[in-house]
Amino acid sequence: MSDAPLLSVKDLRVHFPIERGVFFRKEVGRVRAVDGVSFSVPRGETLGLVGESGCGKSTTARAIIRLVKPTSGSIGFRGKDLAAIGEQEMRRDVRRHVQMIFQDPYASLDPRMTVERLVAEPLVNYGVARGAALRDRVSELLELVGLSRRHLDRYPHEFSGGQRQRIGIARALALDPELVLCDEPVSALDVSIQAQVVNLLQDLQERLGLTYLFIAHDLAVVRHISDRVAVMYLGRIVELAPSDAIYAKPSHPYTQALLSAIPIPDPALQRARRRIALEGEIPSPTKEYKGCRFYDRCPVREERCRSEDPPLAEVRPGHAVACWVAAKTA
């Protein structure tokens, strides 16, 4: 691919200071939610971001759209560095091109607004359409996500979870964004409804040429929808590869453990599988590391891993791993 990627994140860090004191606030530590993350997403592709709670996957998305301020690093998008520009420029030039779909459609829609107002709001804010043209555009958007003009005057509580998520998607697509950040878009939905929304997201991508950053903890869903997958652990990407490769040949010991922990709905297969048990639990992101962050829990750790931080490096073309042991054996 010769084009520059649509989104290019380099060494992104988002630290939250922990402060003490009433008059003289003093920083006593920091939560390193995102701590040196680099990846890029070509136009029209889907990058899946997976990891357990606290690994920094949502914070990464929130930093891209500036719901939190990046501490350092750069976020290249449409020729601008989103980490460096001001709030006003962000709102004026960038936000309409990057939109977000949230996990909980019950919390992200204002219960006092009708569907028409909810979906029209971004169009009105950016002065894109008004009057009859506005109503037409809103109807068009509703049809795009599988709802209809009949729903215009209804309120969010009249809809099921799946339908509400469709309203959220219509709202996100109102301004014709190029990049859509999907933060656990199906996790709160019923099992039988998840597939409907996943299919809708895939159809929309094909029709509108959207680029997705797809965040989820369900690796089966992520594998299904993503072209490439990045696995995060404690604020870092530990493995990044085409989605089939990451499932066929997981190389980082954390990815291996994570995959082995996911149940498969097939009794014979599931009973025969061996789970790779990890020691302990995910440590606090306030801790500072000299070596590998996974050291304490790693089943294959070596002496070097304690003192030297492994970089994310390719072990095969397109398959990058941050692990000294995997780099040696690849």
Which residues here bind another protein, judged by CB under 8 A? 52-53, 146-148, 160-163, 165-166, 190-199, 202, 217, 219-221, 223-224, 244, 247, 257-271, 273, 275, 277-278, 281-282
Do 296 and 279 form a contact (C-beta atoms < 8 A)? yes
Nearer to another protein (CB atom), residue 178 or residue 184: 184
Q: Which residues contact 110 (CB under 8 A, 6 or more apart)?
A: 118, 156
Least distance CB 247 / another protein (angstroms): 7
Nearer to another protein (CB atom), residue 84 or residue 269: 269
Nearer to another protein (CB atom), residue 147 or residue 181: 147
What's the distance, Cα to Cα, between the start and end of the chain in Å? 25
Nearer to another protein (CB atom), residue 88 or residue 192: 192
Question: What is the C-alpha separation between 307 and 324, in angstroms, rounded?
Answer: 11
Least distance CB 37 / another protein (angstroms): 19
Residue of 178, 197, 200 whose CA lies nearest to 189: 197
Q: Which two tokens stand for residue 264?
A: 């498969």
Do 252 and 300 form a contact (C-beta atoms < 8 A)? no
Least distance CB 227 / another protein (angstroms): 13
Q: What is the 3-state secondary structure (H, E, C) of 285-320?
A: CCCCCCCCCCHHHCCCCCHHHHHCCCCCEEEECCEE
Least distance CB 41 / another protein (angstroms): 21
Least distance CB 92 / another protein (angstroms): 35
Least distance CB 328 / another protein (angstroms): 25
* Cα separations in angstroms, 281 against 157, 184, 293, 297: 38, 22, 12, 8
Nearer to another protein (CB atom), residue 95 or residue 297: 297
Question: What is the C-alpha separation between 205 and 12, in angstroms, rounded?
Answer: 26
Nearer to another protein (CB atom), residue 75 or residue 189: 189
